[in-house]
Chains A and B, each alone.
Chain A
Amino acid sequence: MIFRLLYPFLRWCPGALGIVLRQKLYHRLLGNCGRNILIGRFVDLHNPQNIRIGDQAIINDHAVLRAPAKPLANPAIILDRHAFVGSGTTLTARGGTIHLHPGSNLGSGCTLWAASGIDIGPNTLLAAYCTLEDGGSDSGDGRSPSSSGQLIVDGGCWLGVRARVTGPIRIGKESVIGAHSLVNGDIPPYAIAYGNPATVGGHRRPR
């Protein structure tokens, strides 16, 4: 309740004061917000009771994190330790969970839209303007259609600028997705894929 009263001011507050206030007060007032977080200005947290932000996460200016309003057993948006959300990036969890594992880095202007769930592995790098949609139907009441699953990006991947990923697919670990690609099928680990639709054009050979 105190958070709701202070939130408009904290969201707006500029400068070092704003950074320090958001770091201390979001941790204190929100039960699931970690320590030493860095949150920029104009960051919208919709229904923060369903958002968990880990220690030392960084959320840049103008980011939007939208979780459903109804009570949930698990958080709808999880940012693990050292997760980085770029400027203007939008994370919308209509159903399922958007889970950013430790060290994941989302560039500016990205859009993640989950109806069943999106899982971004550790140390994954999404360049600017990437779009990820898991393709589940937006039933509005949180139930996932049985046929759809999560969109999973395994650890260590690099998605180039404006890459689009749709559907309940899996991008294997340590893959590179070229800029402006459209990925709508599974990508094996250590692959280099690009195009519309994306096809594997090469491999990063593991030792």
Chain B
Amino acid sequence: MSKVQNRLSTREGAFAKYKRTVIGEGATGLLILYECINMVITPLPTALGTLLRRICYPLLLRKMGRQSRFEANCTLRNPRKIVIGNNVHIAAKASLDVKPDATGIHLADGVKIGQRTILNCAKGSITIGPGSHIGHFCRIGAFARTSIGKQCRIGDQVCIIGGGHSFEDTAVPIIDQPIVTRGDVTIGDYVTIGEGATIIDGVTIGDHAEIGAHSFVNKDVAANSVVAGVPATVQQEEEQP
């Protein structure tokens, strides 16, 4: 069984486990507030819901900027470790999940997160720079630092991986072996990532790079270059203007 299955499986301390998962080390009072907001305000559709979430979510989040909005049924876990800038738009059913040991999620001004996209911060942090747009059904993970620069355009169903399982030991099932990471994922400014692409841990993508759709990026990508394929290789290099 993986660690998540182990952690969730035993009945003992179910309340403590749930509390730690949804609000981290916060007090029970915060949990009660969290549950009340989640029951009544989170599922509320339409502009009324958006308005009420704009009023109530700052009570849960570390910071929520002006004119930012959450659509209905988003999932927030450990919201005290989430910072949302101004004019951020989080579409319906997106998930911002900070695990108890992680540092947090920081969305700068003007960030857009698509529907059903999951930001899963297992350890370390996820930082998204100003004006970047993340598509629908994406999965952005972090096991170290995952940072996305400003004005990036990330397509639908893109997967950014924070870490993978080691599998050297053949006596232990892979699912039980520790998760290891090759390092931070750093995506520069003005990067375009096509839909369905996968970026694995330890990769640095330079400014103005373009990643083709359905590519698998496992090596650093130089600034201003265009890569595509599985594994992604340089298609052409654009000359700097």
B-contacting residues of A (Cβ < 8 Å)?
A: 12, 14-17, 19, 36, 38, 41-42, 56, 58, 61-62, 82, 84, 87-88, 102-103, 105, 108-109, 123-125, 128-129, 155-158, 161-162, 174, 176, 179-180, 190, 196, 204-207
Given contacts A176-B174, A180-B230, whether A14 and B43 have CB atoms under 8 Å apart is yes
Residues 11-47 of B, flagged 1 when their CB comes within 8 A of A and 0 if not, give: 1000000100010000000000001001100110000
Chain A residues with CB below 8 A from B173, complex form:
103, 123, 155-156, 174
Checking B42, B137, B230 against A196 with a beta-carbon cut-off of 8 angstroms, the contacting residue is B230
Asked if A205 and B170 make an inter-chain contact with CB atoms under 8 angstroms apart, the answer reads: yes
In the complex, are the beta carbons of A180 and B8 less than 8 A apart? no
- Specify which chain B residues have a CB less than 8 angstroms from the CB of A87 in the assembled complex: 95, 118
Determine the chain A residues whose CB is within 8 A of the CB of B200 once the complex forms.
179
Known: A16-B18, A109-B157, A161-B198. 8 other contacts (CB 8 A): A42-B73, A109-B139, A123-B174, A158-B167, A158-B174, A162-B216, A174-B173, A179-B230
Q: Do A58 and B230 contact each other (CB < 8 Å), given the known contacts A124-B175, A174-B170, A179-B200?
A: no
Pairwise interchain contact B1-A82, C-beta atoms closer than 8 A: yes
- The distance in angstroms between the C-alpha atoms of A76 and B166, with both chains bound, is 33
Interface size on B, residues (CB 8 A): 40
Given contacts A14-B39, A162-B196, contact A84 B165 (CB under 8 A): no
Quick check: B176 and A123 within 8 Å, CB to CB?
yes
User: Roughly how many angstroms separate A161 CA and B218 CA in the complex, as a whole number?
Assistant: 12
Q: How far is the CA of A157 from the CA of B196 in the complex (A)?
A: 23
Per the bound structure, the CA–CA distance linking A42 and B93 in Å amounts to 10
CB closest residue in chain A, given B168:
A204
Residue of A nearest to B6 (CB): A82
